[in-house]
Chain A
Amino acid sequence: AQKVTQAQTEISVVEKEDVTLDCVYETRDTTYYLFWYKQPPSGELVFLIRRNSFDEQNEISGRYSWNFQKSTSSFNFTITASQVVDSAVYFCALSDLVSGYSTLTFGKGTMLLVSP
């Protein structure tokens, strides 16, 4: 069965520090999709990135970067020079053949607290 593990329950950093959020997944499929979502204190879920299993290139978007390593089944998320506005709960999610590539299996989330 598919599973997503975010071992870090809560991380606290000071503004301008770099921080990496870990995500490890389990799936029997060779084709699957990985996602990161952000849930700020206001409560909505905001899509950040999607990665398919055939694309192992790392991606950078501004201060955000993602490291996908198929060999270790990990899809880690790094925020460079963190800001207070980055404070949120971040969820890693998986979509695979079992779900028809439609539904998401979420990790438990990592709460990031960035203090001034």
Chain B
Amino acid sequence: DAGVIQSPRHEVTEMGQEVTLRCKPISGHDYLFWYRQTMMRGLELLIYFNNNVPIDDSGMPEDRFSAKMPNASFSTLKIQPSEPRDSAVYFCASSSRGSGNTEAFFGQGTRLTVV
């Protein structure tokens, strides 16, 4: 399996611009997560989906952030407008509950820099 695939790996954008991060989960996984990693706050959950339905978006910092999962193989995280404080590494992860809880597999992350 190719694992969780995120694009782009690096994104540099100017403040005020729209940014879209993309994620392809592992085939067959029914959970998809978006996490953000910063030096100050560490790894924190932004939102997660189960069977393409958003379950908990309480971690989304502001209305500027939105996430969608139009089908089982694709999700996006959008920031509009972007701000310098959004600079972070954004990870997508997927997992499969199956017969029991299983670990989440992470993508390589997207390093976002907003200048």
Contact B101 A101 (CB under 8 A): yes
Q: How large is the interface on B (under 10, 10 to 19, 20 to 34, 35 or more residues)?
A: 20 to 34
Tell yes or no: A33 within 8 A of B by CB.
Answer: yes
Confirm or deny: B109 has a beta carbon within 8 angstroms of a beta carbon on chain A: yes
Minimal beta-carbon separation of B45 from chain A (angstroms): 5
Q: Is B53 an interface residue (CB 8 A)?
A: no
Q: Indicate whether A50 sits within 8 Å of B103 (C-beta atoms), given known contacts A43-B89, A103-B33, A108-B42.
A: yes
Chain B residues with CB below 8 A from A47, complex form: 103-106
Residues facing A in B82-109 (CB within 8 A) are 89, 91, 93, 95, 97, 101-109
- A residues touching B (Cβ–Cβ < 8 Å)? 33, 35, 37, 42-47, 50, 52, 91, 95, 100-104, 106-109
Asked if A91 and B102 make an inter-chain contact with CB atoms under 8 angstroms apart, the answer reads no
Query: Shortest Cβ distance from A7 into chain B, in angstroms?
Result: 14
A106 to B43, CA, bound (A): 6
Interfacial chain A residues near B106, Cβ < 8 Å:
37, 44-47
- Answer whether residue B76 sits at the interface, using C-beta atoms and an 8 A cutoff: no
